Amino acid sequence: MTYLSFDGGASWQNGGLPPRPAAGPAGDDVTVAYDAHGRGYLCATRSGHSPSPNPANLNANRAVYVWRTDDGGRSFSAPVTVVEGQYCDHPWLATGQGQTPAGQNVYVAWGAGDSHTALDLARSNDGAQSFAPPRRILAEATIPSLVSAGPQLAAGPHGLVCAVCDWTTQQDSSGDMVGRVVAVCSTDWGHSFTAPLHLGSESAVIALPGDVKPNSGPTVAASPQGDALYVAFPQRQPGATHSDIVVTASHDRGRTWSKAVTATPADGVTYFQPNLAVDAAGWVAISAFALANGRVDEVLLLSRPRELHFRPPLRVTTAPFDPLIATTASRGKYGAWWIGDWQGIASSAGAFHLMWNDTRTGKLDLFAATVRP
């Protein structure tokens, strides 16, 4: 399903239904992006395993697809296959924002490799009508990982592309899954990428009393103006209830990164699933979930351009929600409740638009809000 707003998020309506791939349904791990000319792109994966008991066939049904819309999501093209028949997980889509042909490239990156710790990337220079063969942009890690290296991807001006992920994830003494956050960057429209830069360690899955395990991942955003990149991820001291969201920045196209700063207050709240956006004026915004007393709020953290000094969390939800409602059927994945891998945030002129999962209606629904700095 797709949903559209033509009034800055004030109201929403059903959008076009992307045509189904010939090989079968594909609706996992969906991401969307628009280019500088208003063309929209939608990416999703098919991750269902083959019914064959042969381990060699377990990835036979996996695939990543991209659809394009030229009318704001009212209709979609036939899906284009980016990769199929091999391990691929958590694909992320990004589009160039320049006016030149290379500046309008479409990029897709995903977790790959036999150990699930590598990143592969495919690039389109014809508006997602076709994609070049995938390339390895992050090699497989030399140590095992408990979680796939599913990336987030951002594209900025003048050929800047950056992918971030947990290269390896291990369990610590408190039961948390701790990931090693790395970034790989390109300054030539995805032709080449840097060696991985270690940005810090994140609490990818936080183990709380009652078998509650909020999951997260690193998030990245590129400034529409200039050479700035931002990466955010949660951190928790072993055994503590409180977790922070920290942010690091690069102002030289990913060559060097600042020391991570804390964006959240020391208030005993568990913050997780951050998502980043930067608007044209340079405001940095982080949307996140905040868990306190068994209830979850969606909050927004804002920093003025280049300051990385965040205001107190702005509560976006009108009422906190109980994550246990209508989610108990998913107990088998990452703990007693499951509200998704990530939420969403995007910027427009003078506003940030947030989307999150919420159980206030008694079932898991999508909610949206617009916040103006």
Beta bridge partners of 123: 107
- Res 215: pLDDT: 83
Which residue in this structure is represented by tokens 């559209």?
4
- Res 51: pLDDT: 54
CA 13 to chain centre: 24
Q: What does DSSP say about strands 314-315 and 295-303: parallel, antiparallel, or unpaired?
A: antiparallel
Of residues 154, 153, 155, 151, the one with CA closest to residue 179 = 151
Mean pLDDT by 10 residues, the chain (373 residues): 93 96 90 92 82 62 96 97 94 88 89 96 96 97 91 94 96 90 97 97 86 86 92 92 96 96 96 96 96 95 93 96 71 65 90 94 91 92
143-174, pLDDT tens digit by residue?
A: 999 989 989 999 999 999 999 999 999 999 88
- Res 326: pLDDT: 62
- Res 308: pLDDT: 93
* Dist CA 40 CA 32 (whole Å): 7
- Res 332: pLDDT: 56
- Res 335: pLDDT: 59
- Res 206: pLDDT: 87
* Dist CA 303 CA 312 (whole Å): 10
- Res 174: pLDDT: 85
- Res 124: pLDDT: 97
- Res 279: pLDDT: 94
On the CB side of 61, CA atoms within 13 Å amount to 14
Which residue in this structure is represented by tokens 């929600």?
321
- Res 226: pLDDT: 81
- Res 240: pLDDT: 87
- Res 271: pLDDT: 96
* Dist CA 2 CA 162 (whole Å): 27
Work out whether the CA dihedral 134, 77, 45, 272 comes out positive or negative.
positive
Give the C-alpha distances (Å, rounded to integers) separating 356 from 211, 297, 316, 342. Answer: 22, 10, 10, 8
Residue 114 tokens, joined: 């036999």
* Dist CA 81 CA 86 (whole Å): 13
* Dist CA 351 CA 371 (whole Å): 6
Which residue in this structure is represented by tokens 């971030």?
164
On the CB side of 210, CA atoms within 13 Å amount to 10
Of residues 217, 370, 144, 213, the one with CA closest to residue 279 = 370
Helix/strand/coil for 102:
helix
